[in-house]
Chain A
């Protein structure tokens, strides 16, 4: 079952923060986050396994709330290079495929 992402699109000014949410109606084992720029391959950002841990990569971090089956991606002090479409992918457990949401389009303006 496809995870639901929100918002569908967001426009930011450089330096502003944003949160992208990813939720599922099924119990999850892992959540994967990717960013895709126009005409390019999706690029891996981070993976979160069940346990509610939070991960970070420079000014981009994410959390995974196992009880709510929800993950959030936090973009802090956004840069122009953050523009793109963000996808979350979810797995429910052993043998499951990685299923992606429909994406969140993020545009960062100067």
Chain B
């Protein structure tokens, strides 16, 4: 069974630009979560989607947005990029949502903002 797939793996953007990251969950998984990972902050929750609906949102500015499609694939978008947005963005999927469900991570998308 294929794992969580994220694209692109690496990208470099300029301040002020926008970026879209893509995530394909494990087949059969309907819940997708996004996390931002930086050296000092660890894994910070961005948002969670289930059945195309955002179920939870972290404490990030409105420049960070996401969506989920009917096939459970998800995208996240960051507009007006800032240097501080440089991070590893991880997507994770699970069969269902709610407490006690294991989430499985993809390898992430490394974003560098210059």
Q: Which residues of A contact B (CB under 8 A)?
A: 2, 29-30, 32, 34, 40-44, 47, 49, 87, 89, 91-103
Contact = CB atoms under 8 A, between A and B. Distances in A.
Contacts, number: 59
B105 A42 contact: yes
Contacts of B42: 2, 87, 100-103
Interface residues of B, number: 24
A47 B102 contact: yes
Contacts of A98: 33, 45, 103
A30 B100 contact: yes
A85 to B, nearest CB: 9
Contact of B98 (A44, A47, A87, A95): A95
B64 interface: no
Given A40-B107, A41-B4, A94-B99, 15 more contacts: A2-B42, A30-B99, A32-B103, A41-B106, A41-B107, A92-B99, A94-B98, A95-B55, A96-B99, A97-B33, A98-B103, A101-B42, A102-B40, A102-B42, A103-B42
